[in-house]
Chains A and B, each alone.
Chain A
Amino acid sequence: MTSPIIQIRQLQKRFAANGADIVALQDADLDIAPGEFVTLVGASGCGKSTLLRIVGGLEPASGGSVSVDGVPIAGPGIDRAMVFQHYSLYPWLTVTENITFCRQLKVHRDVSTLSDVESAEGRADALVRLMGLSHVADAYPNQLSGGMQQRVAIARALMARPRILLMDEPFGALDAQTREVMHDLILHVSILEKTTVLFVTHDVEEAIYLAHRVVLMAPRPGHIAAVHTVPLQDHRDQDMKQTPGFIALKKQILAGIRETSGMQTNYELLERLGQNPAP
C-alpha cells in the first residue's frame, strides 16, 4: 500500500451533554490511501458524523490524532471539502455563483494570477457541465430539485480541487432512482479527479456499491468494529448489485449492524401478542 493520505490514530471524542459524559468515539484507527473511496456505515449514533467532522476539522478531537500527508490537522482546510445532507447551499446565489463561491475568499484570491482566474472560470464551466447543471446555471437553489441541489453542493466542494472529499449522508434525502444516478456520478467524478472520498451513509447497499472499503462502526462507545474490502473491480455498474459477492457482503454487514445496534426484536413477545389479540 502506498503511504496513506489520511492517518487516524487512537482517535477519541467525548461530549459533555447535560452533565453526562458521552464517548462518541473510542480508539479509532484507520489509514486511507490516496484516491481511495471509503464508506462509513453503522447504527445511528455510533459516531460516523463525529469521525467525519473531526477529519474535516469542524470538531476538535479529545484524544489521538488525524494527519493528512503526515501533518496533524488543526481546523478546517481547503484540502478537505465537505458535502452535507442539506441546507448548505447559499440560496441568495445562483448555481454558478454557489459553485464559484470559494473564488471570493481571501485564501484563493491572494494567489490569483491572470491565468489562475482563467483556469478557475474554465473549471467552473467544466464542473457545471460535468454535473449536468448547464440548463440551470443561472437558477437559484430553491428552484431546483433535491438531487440537483446536491449536484451543486458537490460541484462547489470540488471547485477548489480538494484532495479529500468528506460526505455526510449526502444522498440521504433523495429518492432511490435519483440516488442511483448520483452514485454513478460521484464515482465517475472521484475517479476523474483522483479525489479521496470519505463517505458516511446508513444505506449498506450504497456503502458497498461506492467503496473500495466499507468501515463498519458500532455504538456505545462509538468505535470501528470491522473493515471490509469490497470484492468488485473499480469500474462499477448497477448489475454488480446482483452478484453473489455483493449480496454476501451486504448480508454480512447488515448482520454486523444488527448485532451492534442493540435494537433486538423480541420475537417471543410478538408471537404471544399474535396468539392473544388484545380484547
Chain B
Amino acid sequence: MTVNLIPRRPLWAIRGSLDRRIHWLIACCGLLLVLLAWWLASTGGAVDPVFLPTPPLVLNSAWEWLHDGDLLGDIAISVYRVVAGFLLSAVLALPLGVLVGTYAPVKALFEPLTDFIRYMPAAAFIPLVMLWVGIDEGAKIAIIFIGTFFQMLLMIAEDVRRVPMEQIEAAQTMGADRDEIVMRVIMPSAKPAILDTLRVTMGWAWTYLVVAELVAANSGLGFAVLKAQRFLQTDKIFAGIILIGLFGLATDQCFRWAHRRSFPWLYRR
C-alpha cells in the first residue's frame, strides 16, 4: 500500500495554487468541453453547417487549404506582417517609453497625445493609410503598428515608472550619474515587466491581422478568412480563425519561455 505523504493542496483556497498535473487536467477539460459542445451542436442536425460547420469539416478545409491552396504561403506572409508591425512598434516604443517613464518633460510631451490617439480605432485609419502609405506590404504593417504602438508606449512607460525609487536613490548615493541610472538600474529593473508588455502587445498584433489584411491584400490568414466570408465558406473561416489563435498562443508561449530563461532570479526561491 502506498501512502501519500504530501498533503493535497485544497482546490478552492482563495488565491490558491494547483499541482501542475491538476492544473493541466482542468485546462484540457476546458478545451475539450468547448470542442464537445461544438461537436454536439454541429452534428445534431439542428444547425445548418453553413452557420456552424462540424469539426471534421473544418479540419478537412484546413487540409484542402494546405494541399490545393497556399496555406504555408498565407502563414508565412501573415507571420511576416505581424512580426514586422510588432517589431517596428517595439523599436520605437522601447526607447520612447523609457524616456516617458523617466523624464517629466518627455512625459508631458507624449503621454496626453498618446492617451488620445490610442482610443482611435485602428480600422478607421485604413483609408488614410492607403492614401499615405499605399496598398502594398507597408500598409498592412502600418495598420498593425497603429494598433499596437500607442498602447505599447504607455505600458512600457508605466513599467519604467514602477521601478522602486529606492533602487534609483541607492545608485545616486553610490555616485551613479543619470545615464548610469538609466542603463544600470532602470533598464535592468524594468526589463522583466517590459518583456511581459511585449508579450501582451504581441497578442494584440495578431488580433489586428484581419483588420490589416482588409487593405488590398491577396494573401495571408486574415485575407483568407475575409475571402471565405465572401463565399460563405464557414468551415474555412473557422480554420483561419483557429490558426490565428494557435499562432498567437505559440508566440505567447515563446515569450514566456524567454522570460524564464532571461530572468532566472524571478523564478528562484
Contacts and interface: CB of A to CB of B under 8 A. Distances in A.
Contacts of B173: 56-58, 76-78, 80-82, 157, 166
Contacts of B174: 78, 81, 101-102, 105, 156-157, 160
Interface stretch (B115-123, B183-191, B196-204): B183-191
Contacts of B172: 57-58, 76
A105 B175 contact: yes
Nearest to B192: A92
Contacts of A142: 265-266, 268-269
Interface string B159-170: 000001011011
Interface stretch (A26-34, A83-91, A244-252): A83-91
A16 interface: no
Interface string A87-111: 1111110000000011011111000
Interface in A147-198: 153, 156-157, 160, 166
Contacts of A101: 171, 174, 184
Nearest to A92: B188
Contacts of A91: 189, 265-266
B169 A82 contact: yes
A82 B176 CA distance: 13
A160 B175 contact: yes
A143 interface: yes
Contacts of B19: none
A99 B173 CA distance: 14
A122 B172 CA distance: 24
Interface string B190-224: 01000000000000000000000000000000000
A92 B189 contact: yes
B263 interface: yes
Interface of A: 56-58, 76-78, 80-82, 84, 86-92, 101-102, 104-108, 140-143, 153, 156-157, 160, 166
B177 interface: yes
A105 B166 contact: no
Given A77-B175, A107-B175, A87 B265 contact: no
A157 B174 CA distance: 7
Contacts of A108: 175
B268 A90 contact: no
A211 to B, nearest CB: 22
B70 interface: no
B48 interface: no
B64 interface: no
Contacts of B164: 87-88
B136 interface: no
Given A82-B170, A140-B268, A90 B175 contact: no
A87 B166 contact: yes
A101 B167 CA distance: 12
B170 A84 contact: yes
Nearest to A160: B174
A84 B166 contact: yes
Contacts of B263: 92
Contacts of B189: 90-92
**Shortest beta-carbon contacts, A-B, top 8:** A88-B166, A107-B175, A140-B265, A87-B164, A78-B175, A82-B173, A88-B170, A102-B174
Contact of B169 (A78, A84, A153): A84
10 contacts: A77-B173, A78-B174, A82-B169, A84-B170, A92-B191, A101-B171, A101-B184, A102-B174, A105-B175, A141-B265
